Amino acid sequence: MGETFAFLLMGGAPLLFAVLASHFVLRRGNLIQRTDWRAVAAQVAVFGLISWIGASIRWRKEVYVDVALFVVVAAGLQGGLRVGAGAGFVGAFARALNPASRPFAFITFAAGLLAGGLRRRWPKPPSARQGFLVGAGMGVLQVVLTCLTLAASPFHRDVLGAYFPFMIMTGAWVALLGLILTGLRGEIERLRLERLAAEARLALLQSQIRPHFLFNALNTISAAARKDPEETRRLIQHLSEFLRLTLKTPNGLIPVEEEVAHLTPYLEIERARFGERLRVAQKVSAAARAARIPPLTLQPLVENAIRHGFRDDGRPLTVLIEGDLDGGRVVLRVVDDGNGMANAPEPGDGIGLSNVRERVSAHFGEGAFAVKSETGTGTTIEIRIPAGGK
């Protein structure tokens, strides 16, 4: 029992260092979420350093924990082939410098390479169960390769007793480190979504409540006041309702129904401003209204269509907001027959398509947001989201 406790404790100390280093380094710049060469290099440096330290630890003969092995396995499962191979190479190089451990250098590199190869087959980091099974398999592989390296039989009676401890130890620590790193990914993603939502609200306040927006709205109300007091009262109510809905925008996802309701006061002000030059139609089914999207998604898209869609020849602009089921998903579209988007909108115009695209993609995947535009024909912005309240 004492040896088993020491076995676990001595393996846990380097892993604790691995976890702390991972949190400190990989949180900076969302490195664990990215796949560019700088992020890969940073992950290789973190996991490689830890595997180097693990490969350099001198264990008592009766208590041996291969820290380098399960660190490079966790690196491969979390970061993919390049990270696993890189960390494995660093750990293998550290072992090659020590004559006593030089024969086992290949095992460390192969473990990171194999784990990274498995990660390429999974769309996301493995679960704790998958990590444990891979780690246990690597533990068995380590015993077999060690025996082959030492020209010993992997089926010898003395060797058979080593399989189970190595399976449990390597599998448990790989699963634990994987769980912690997966939690780190989730925390980074949550913070990123909160940051994007805060940026969206701030950008909307900076763009919608900027002086020229209020100037145009108040000018429209002022013009109506000379002729129609009732229309003036109605426009003031719409402006007040629009600002109220903007200021109380929540985090998370909201029903499409609420997002469509947010459009109403905004469109009433714009209709009063542009008159017959602006035509807006809505065709959003009940199924589409029940789906959930990030707040401040449709209104910026409609604003973009109105701000950039009007033609120089004075032809009326038509904006269509539609949503319906399509193949088990809800498809939302904002379509206009205006100028098209030959030139990208200038910075500061609305909260921008890039912010909406990033928030939608963060929730529903890279293919959820699409823009189709043709100069002189118009623009279609399409969002594909899960049906229902998921």
Mean pLDDT per 10-residue segment, the chain (390 residues):
44 55 56 70 80 65 59 78 87 82 79 81 70 76 72 71 69 69 69 72 52 75 86 90 74 86 89 91 93 88 86 88 90 92 51 76 85 88 83
Computed from CA positions of residues 352, 331, 253, 249, in that sequence, does the dihedral angle turn out positive or negative? positive
- Same structural domain, 146 and 213: no
**Which residues fall within 8 angstroms of residue 312, CB to CB, at 6 or more apart?**
none
Amino acid 9: pLDDT: 46
Apex 381 CA angle, 375 and 382, nearest 5 = 140
- Same structural domain, 172 and 27: yes
- Sheet-wide strand order for 278-284: 278-284, 317-326, 329-336, 378-386, 369-374
How many domains is the chain partitioned into structurally? Answer: 2
- Same structural domain, 298 and 338: yes
Report the predicted TM-score, pTM, of the whole model to 2 decimal places.
0.49
Least Cα distance to 110 among 95, 99, 125 occurs for 95
111: containing domain = 2-190
Amino acid 94: pLDDT: 84
Last residue of a domain, one of 134, 159, 190: 190
Amino acid 317: pLDDT: 93
Enclosing H/E stretch for 59: none
Q: How many CA atoms lie within 13 A of 81 on its CB side?
A: 5
- Same structural domain, 304 and 181: no
CATH number at residue 29: 1.10.1760
Within 10 Å of residue 87's Cβ, how many Cβ atoms?
A: 35
CATH number at residue 377: 3.30.565.10
